[in-house]
Amino acid sequence: MSAVKIFSLARQTSRIVRPAGTLASRSYTSAAKATSIKPQEFYYVNNTDPSMEMTDITDRAAQTIFWTELFRGAAVTLAHIFKEPATINYPFEKGPLSPRFRGEHALRRYPSGEERCIACKLCEAICPAQAITIEAEERADGSRRTTRYDIDMTKCIYCGFCQEACPTASIGPLFCLDGDGLRRTDRLAQLTGNVALLTTGVAAQGMLTTEPRA
């Protein structure tokens, strides 16, 4: 009895250590064992031959002769013609903007026309992209006025930190999408103390009428 067991164990061991012919056959054999599929079995994944039953032949002939798939696609197109369009004719039509939209920058003024900016340079210091450049001079009464307020819009990341840091709510975004340009110089927003001027052609008075954030 023990001799039979030893003989059986030797046969199983010989099957395990028996080398395969190639690496591909070895990997295929291991994959077949893992999926419980015999090596001589396989799945045919290519397109099968068309059915020769009369109903299937009739359906294929109808699709070829009457272009049923073409009319099915045309029906989908006609159904969308009468639906409300999902797009707008920009720039002649513009969609609504979120209250949290951050666009081009502009300087606010008081109702009297006096500029809000006091040239404290907090916005220049907090700007993570270092896109703001401010120059100032003293007035006759000792207060400061801004002579240069430039924002390089090629560096600006529209984070809104300058708006949050401003103690007088002087700087804020324009609610306007027309901030593109064809040249690099078109992306330089020059905001001076006298006039809020954007070289991109955006009207600055659109920002002057906007109430500052509380």
Provide the token pair at 192: 């001076």
State mean pLDDT over 79-90.
85
Fold of 105-208: Alpha-Beta Plaits (3.30.70)
Omega of the bond leading into 91 within 30 degrees of 0 (cis): yes
pTM over 0.85: no
pLDDT tens digits, 150-171: 888 888 898 889 989 999 988 8
What are the residue boundaries of the structural domains of the chain, listed by start? 2-34, 105-208
pLDDT tens digits, 120-148: 999 999 999 999 999 888 888 888 888 88
16: pLDDT strictly greater than 60:
no
CB 110 within 8 A of CB 116: yes
End-to-end alpha carbon distance in the chain:
96
Give percent above pLDDT 70 in the chain: 61
